[in-house]
Structure 1
Amino acid sequence: MPKQTKTITFIRHGQSLANAGGITMDHHAIPLTELGVNQAKHLADSLAFEPSAFFVSELIRTHQTATPFCDKYSIQPTVHPLLNELSCIDPQLIQGMDGKQRRPIADAYWQEADPHKRLGENADTFAEFAQRVDYFLLELDTLPDRSVLFGHGIWFGMLVWKVLGFSTNTSQDMKAFRRFQLGFPMPNCAVYCLESSNLGFWNVRAKAL
């Protein structure tokens, strides 16, 4: 019997206010910029395939990116908390800061590279984030073929890191992941395909528009 291929499409959200260097907001509430809204509309017009389901994280920017697709195909998205990105700094600790002011704090976090460090009550540790992606990978085979995931760049970088078989347990692992993630091509509204013909084994490829 021939093996049945499953394809899952990942789409990073459009440009957000944080991407544009805006003032700190609650992670969940950061909206798309006008450019980000237009990016999502253009992408929905450009991609020609029939999706079976849409999944979004709990963060509003993925919902806004999914909206043109939902309208086009009359499919409501399912919120999937395991798609949430790494929130490594509690917004209360950086309240009122813009992107330039936040950068040294984020750089210091990655330079220290403590997988269990928590920068504030409402922040993730790197270890928790990596485990969240592990849990999602366990569910990936159960998603319907032709599902579309609207998510976050660092999240997908971690997914690919895991698919490649790299670990995230030590400080050196964390630093290695950061180097990989910074070099991974992931502009706003980037599109990648995950393809599998065997349970638990996935190939990743960029989708040209």
Structure 2
Amino acid sequence: MTTVWFIRHGESISNANLPTKHPELSELTEKGHEQAKQIVKAFNQKPDLIVVSPYVRARQTAVPTITHFAPITVEEWPVFEFTYLHPERYNGTRGSDRGPIARAYWQRNDPFEKEMGGGESFAELMERNLELIKRLHKHSANFIAVFSHGLFLRALTWMLLSDQRKPNEDAMRRYSNFVQSMRMPNGSILKATFDGSQPVPIAGFDTNHLD
């Protein structure tokens, strides 16, 4: 049985509606760095493994926990954010600038669309989460901490709760509605247990460690 803590990164410059350069490179704000330090307080035991997204903001969020428990095994897995808009859309723009483009994407509701040829499709998001679920069911570690992202982790939560596995228009619409109704604050933790069986027990988003 593997206990997994899925941790959303601290507040990033994109979350704060500041100009960005590339979705992978958005760094934490001062508030985000403080949230990263507060995450350490949530642990009462050392994880066997820390998993990080390749995106800068998730890696920065993991640093205080990695430092606190060093030496510790750290691995990079494909738990990066669902970047459905082409990365060029982020160059010099704020979230509010991208809002109309993002809303148009969701209104088209095409699970296989790769926006401008370079965004990730909803189908690819589901496939990444499905592979993660399979990997965790087979993993030998007792306790894993995964530093990831809001849209990705809400897709994981939605898939675990709904048992939805096929990317189609109905699934994409349901996921969009789920995201709008399910808030996952920066620095919050989703706790789940994987033992090869279904359904996977999950708890709500824990924020007790945050000031």
Shared fold, TM over 0.5: yes
Question: Would the aligned equivalents of 1:114 and 1:171 in 2 still touch at CA under 8 Å?
Answer: yes
Question: Would the aligned equivalents of 1:16 and 1:36 in 2 still touch at CA under 8 Å?
Answer: yes
2:152 to 152, 155, 167: 155
Q: Does residue 14 of the first structure (1) align with residue 10 of the second (2)?
A: yes
What does 1:33-182 correspond to in 2, within 5 Å? 33-74=29-70, 75-81=72-78, 83-143=79-139, 144-164=141-161, 165-182=163-180
How many Å separate the matches in 2 of 1:147 and 1:94? 32
How many Å separate the matches in 2 of 1:197 and 1:169? 25
Question: Would the aligned equivalents of 1:24 and 1:91 in 2 still touch at CA under 8 Å?
Answer: no
Question: Would the aligned equivalents of 1:93 and 1:120 in 2 still touch at CA under 8 Å?
Answer: no
Would the alpha carbon gap of residues 141 and 24 (structure 1) be closer, same or farther in structure 2, given more than 3 Å must change? Answer: same
How many Å separate the matches in 2 of 1:65 and 1:94? 21
Identity %: 28
* Aligned structure 1 segments of 4 or more residues deviating by more than 4 angstroms: none
Matched residue type, 1:160: T
How big is each residue's C-alpha offset from its partner over 1:78-130, in whole Å with a ceiling of 9 and x where there is no partner?
1112x112111112135322121111111111111111111124311111111
Report the counterpart of residue 202 of structure 1 in structure 2. 200
How many Å separate the matches in 1 of 2:120 and 2:169? 16
How big is each residue's C-alpha offset from its partner over 1:25-58, in whole Å with a ceiling of 9 and x where there is no partner?
2121111111100101012134322211100111
Matched residue type, 1:204: I
Structure 2 residues without counterparts, runs of 5 or longer? none
How many Å separate the matches in 2 of 1:208 and 1:77? 24
Instruction: State the secondary structure of the residue aligned to 1:120.
Output: helix
Please report the RMSD computed on the Cα atoms of aligned residues, expressed in angstroms: 1.7
How big is each residue's C-alpha offset from its partner over 1:147-197, in whole Å with a ceiling of 9 and x where there is no partner?
100001111111112112124522222111111112113000111111245
Matched residue type, 2:164: F
Q: CA shift at 1:6, angstroms?
A: 2.7
Question: Would the aligned equivalents of 1:90 and 1:121 in 2 still touch at CA under 8 Å?
Answer: yes
The alignment of Structure 1 onto Structure 2 pairs a total of residues equal to 204
How many Å separate the matches in 1 of 2:56 and 2:90? 20
Q: CA shift at 1:208, angstroms?
A: 5.6
How many Å separate the matches in 1 of 2:90 and 2:183? 27
Question: Would the aligned equivalents of 1:7 and 1:193 in 2 still touch at CA under 8 Å?
Answer: yes
How many Å separate the matches in 1 of 2:89 and 2:35? 31
